[in-house]
Chains A and B, each alone.
Chain A
Amino acid sequence: MDSTGVLEVSTPVLSHAATTDPQLHSFKVTAGGQPCYLHTSPEFAMKRLLAAHQQDIYQIVPVFRDAERGHKHNPEFTLLEWYRVGMDHQQLMDSMETLLRGIFKTFNKPWHKPQRKRYTVLVEAVLGCDMCAVTAGKIKHYFESKGRSFPPGDLSVDAALDLLIDTFVLPDFAEDHFTYITDYPASQAALARTATDSQGNAVASRFELYFGSLEIANGYHELADADVLLQRIEQDLQTRKENALDAVTVDSHLIAAHQAGFPACAGVALGVERLLMLLSEVSSIDQVLAFCFERA
Chain B
Amino acid sequence: MASFSTNEFKGGLKIMLDGDPHSIVENEFVKPGKGQAFSRTKVRNLKTGRVVERTFKSGESVEAADVMDTEMQYLYTDGEHWHFMNPTTFEQLGADKTAMGDAHLWLQEEAICEVTLFNGQPLAVSPPNFVELIIKETDPGLRGDTATGGNKPAHMETGAVVKVPLFIEEGEKIKIDTRSGEYVSRVK
Contacts and interface: CB of A to CB of B under 8 A. Distances in A.
A153 B31 contact: no
A69 B35 contact: no
A18 B38 CA distance: 23
Interface stretch (B52-60, B81-89, B133-141, B155-163): B52-60
Contact of B37 (A67, A165, A188): A67
A149 B37 contact: no
A162 B37 CA distance: 9
B34 A151 contact: no
B55 A150 contact: yes
A73 B29 contact: yes
A165 B32 contact: yes
Contacts of B56: 151-152
A261 to B, nearest CB: 26
A188 B36 CA distance: 11
A128 interface: no
A33 interface: no
A68 B55 contact: no
A159 B29 contact: no
A166 interface: yes
Nearest to A190: B34
A137 to B, nearest CB: 16
Contacts of A150: 55
A218 interface: yes
A72 B32 CA distance: 10
Contacts of A271: 33
A149 B28 contact: no
Interface in A17-53: 21, 23-24
B77 interface: no
Nearest to A181: B32
A23 B37 contact: yes
Interface centre among A67, A153, A159, A190 (most CB of B within 10 A): A67
Interface string B60-80: 100000000000000000000
Nearest to A79: B33
B38 A163 contact: yes
Contacts of B55: 148-151, 163
A70 B57 contact: no
B142 interface: no
B36 to A, nearest CB: 4
Contacts of A7: none
Contact of B35 (A23, A72, A151, A152): A23
A105 interface: no
A166 B30 contact: yes
A152 B59 CA distance: 12
A67 B8 CA distance: 10
A155 B60 CA distance: 12
A242 B79 CA distance: 59
A215 interface: yes
B7 interface: yes
Contacts of B35: 23, 158-159, 162, 188
A68 B35 CA distance: 12
Given A148-B53, A151-B57, A163 B29 contact: no
Given A23-B37, A155-B57, A71 B29 contact: yes
A64 to B, nearest CB: 14
Contacts of A162: 31-32, 35-36, 38
30 contacts: A23-B34, A23-B37, A67-B7, A67-B58, A67-B59, A68-B29, A70-B29, A70-B30, A71-B28, A71-B29, A72-B29, A73-B29, A73-B31, A148-B53, A148-B55, A149-B40, A149-B52, A152-B56, A156-B36, A158-B35, A158-B36, A159-B35, A159-B57, A162-B32, A162-B38, A163-B38, A166-B38, A188-B34, A188-B35, A271-B33
Given A163-B36, A166-B38, 9 more contacts: A23-B31, A23-B34, A67-B59, A69-B7, A148-B55, A153-B57, A158-B36, A166-B30, A190-B34
